[in-house]
Structure formats: structure tokens, C-alpha cells
Structure 1
Amino acid sequence: MTLPEGVVYREIDGEERLATQGATVYGEPMEDGWRAWDVRRSKLGAMIDAGMDTGLTGDDGVLYLGAANGTTASHVADFARVVYAVEFASRPMGDLVGVAESRTGLFPLLKDAHQPETYAHIVEDDLDAIVQDVATRGQARVACANRQFLAADGRLLAAIKARSEDATADPESVFDAALDELRTTYEILDTHRLDPHHADHLAVVARPR
């Protein structure tokens, strides 16, 4: 497994855990400046822990879609060059702004990931990665709409939540439909179910066509 520079496995509280260096955010255990990255609360953390090749190196430009309170975005900002963190809901945005106060490369954006034109004047082009955790319908459509920000060799790192697309449909059918739509814009490199940490979630690594 190749970890991004700045991400390690370290013994914290007597357990080997994925970890990054930075200010604490959500009460996670820390040791010698290393903060445990709880894979049960982070789809990207679960992807890395599962051995998926994310393409992240440790000096990345990242667009994070669906940043919520900043739990995962804070870990990414610990090692990335810059993180543009898009969140639509105003309530978690307050927490995200607080997280950004201790991370100069983290930029919270109160925007709708379905409408990339509203933040295209802020977000730089040729980014290394799009991390997507948008719990809404049209998750594949969001990924395709934001492809404009990715470099030709960049990576889409998406967690597709079946229940957000259709709470009554078979998750496998939802995943198949999302992958078919993603293939109109991306080449799928890897997929992985994130159970048991995140039920009915499919992790996807892809690159632009």
C-alpha cells in the first residue's frame, strides 16, 4: 500500500491507526502530534485503509465536494497543498470554517456541488484530485459536472451512497447505474464496497477520459 506523504500508520492508544499531523478536530485520539484518522467516520480514510490506490501523494491540489463539518477535509488538509471544501448546508459550514482557522490551505466554500459554475472563479484548474462525499441524488452527475477542475492525470475519489440515490432500490443496481454514468466522463480504475464501516457505499477511483 502506498500512502500519501504525511499519512502514516501509527500506534495511538495502543492500536495501529491511520493518522495525519494537525490540530485536533472531532475529539480523535492523538499522540506526539499525530491524530488518528477514524475510518468509521471517513469514506476517504476507509478507501486508503482498504488499500485502494488513490493517487494522492502528499502535496496535492484537492476539490472536496460534500465537506460537511470538516472531519475528512481536515485530514486531507493536513497533507495536501490546498483543499477547496464545498458544502451546501449552512449549519456544518460553521464547523468547517472553524477547522479552517488552523489550516491555512483549507478554503471553505458555501456552494452547491451541483453548480460548479458558482465556484469556478475561485477553484483552480488542473487539480490532482476530487474527493466526493455528496449525500444527494445525482452523485455521478455531480462528479461529471466537476470534472473540469481535474488535471488530465488527476483522480476522482468518490463514495457513492446507495440510499441517497434511492432508499428502496437494490444497492447493486444503484451502483451499476452510477458507474455507467461516470463512464461517460471517467475511466473507472477501481471500486470497493466500504462495508462494514459505511453500509451501502461504493468507493470509486477514476481518472478523466
Structure 2
Amino acid sequence: MIWIEGVLVSEGAGGVYGERILQGYRVWDPYRSKLAAMYYLGAGPELRPDQTVLYLGAANGTTVSHVADYTSVVYAVEYAPRPMQDLLEVARRRKNIVPIMADATRPMEYAPLMESVDLVYQDVAQPGQVSIALNNAVFLKPGGNLVLVLKTRSIDVSRSPPDILAEAEEALRSGGLQVRQSVWLTPYHQDHAALICARD
């Protein structure tokens, strides 16, 4: 990971979403990217050039573009047509992004397009976030990592976010993943937590 004077950046062609350029590098804004926020908080597995990534909830490709700057291949899954249009444009400019229009709750639909990956990153605002993570863990290589961005208010607005986090941790463990670390993404994103998991 590349830091310049305490600022997280990535190396790649700029102008994807109007991002700031610092000494020729693209600034990776933690207020716009929950993955960047996780790194600012000192958590999570670092991205490497030899990694393949499955990105669930790719949206318009803002964070995907930074992940692609660091890694070998990014399989970017998005279900909504409008963000997919933006994602396709991002993928056109970066040859290592594979855009997949599919429902992350149905991984077998895009399994034929996949290979085993080193990292599954999930940022999907749906109630069944944990089950989505567990169902897509099938693509993880042994020793691979899964990062689940838990959007607690998308699960249940009436319950305490810490209770939802504890429940999610237990469900992930029961599903066969090791929960190595959990971190709230405050002050960058309220009521969001990143759960960093590993598969043996």
C-alpha cells in the first residue's frame, strides 16, 4: 500500500471520479470508500500485485478502480443497471476489471466466470449480508481473506449496532470462517463495521 505524507494513494490513470491527484498518485478518500477507511484505521489485509479479488457490491466502480490499481484481477459484481453503466466505463479504462452484472445472493449464477480468489470484499446494503458473505466464500482460496463491510442499519434499524455486529461475528464463525478482526469505520462511516475473516 502506498502512503504519501499520511495520505493513502494508488498508482493508476486518474480522472475516474474526479479524485485528487497527489504527486502523480490517485488519492483514495476514506470518506468515499469504506475499504480505504478500514486501511486508515489500521485494519485489514493489504492489497498486493499478485492477488485476485472478488468485489461484491461494486456500485459505480469508485473503490473497484483503486483495488484494481493494486491487484492482478478484480471480479466486480453489481446488480443495479445504472451503477453498472459507470462500472463498465471504469472497466473499459482498466484491463484487469471483470464487470459482472449479477445478484450477489446467487453466486452460482456467476461461478462459470470466476476463478479462486485471494480476497472477497463485500459492500452490499441488504439484510442478508452475512449469508451473502458465506455463500461467496466458496470462491476463496485456502488461506484467503474475506472482508465484510457490515451496514448495521440495513439489517435492522431498531437494534443496537454492536449487537448486530456480535451476531454477525458468531454467524461467520459458525459458517466456517475465522473472524480475525472487527473494526468500526467511525469517523468515516457511521454504524458501519469491517469484519476481516480468514479461511483455513
Q: Tell me, yes or no, whether TM beats 0.5.
A: yes
Q: Of 8, 33, 41, which aligns to 1:50? A: 41
Q: Select the residue among 4, 17, 21 that pairs with 2:7.
A: 17
**TM norm structure 2:** 0.95
Q: How many angstroms does 1:193 deviate by?
A: 0.5
Long gaps (5+) in structure 1: 1-6
Alignment of 1:1-209 (within 5 A): 7-11=1-5, 16-23=6-13, 24-125=15-116, 127-184=117-174, 185-209=176-200
**Deviations, residues 141-180 of structure 1 (Å, cap 9, x unaligned):** 0000001100110000111000110122111111111111
Q: What is the RMSD of the two structures over their aligned residues, measured on CA atoms?
A: 1.2
Gaps of 5+ in 2: none
Which protein is richer in helix relative to its size? Answer: 2
SS of corresponding position for 1:101: helix
Contact 1:55-1:155 within 8 A present in 2 as well: no
Q: Which amino acid aligns with 1:174?
A: I
Deviation above 3 Å: which 4+ runs of structure 1? none
Name the TM-score, length of structure 1 as normaliser.
Answer: 0.91
Q: CA deviation at 1:55?
A: 4.6
Matched residues in 1 for 2:195 and 2:144: separation? 14
How many corresponding residue pairs?
198
In 2, Cα distance between equivalents of 1:140 and 1:26: 30
Q: CA separation in 2, counterparts of 1:168 and 1:53? A: 29
C-alpha distance in 2, partners of 1:58/1:205?
A: 20
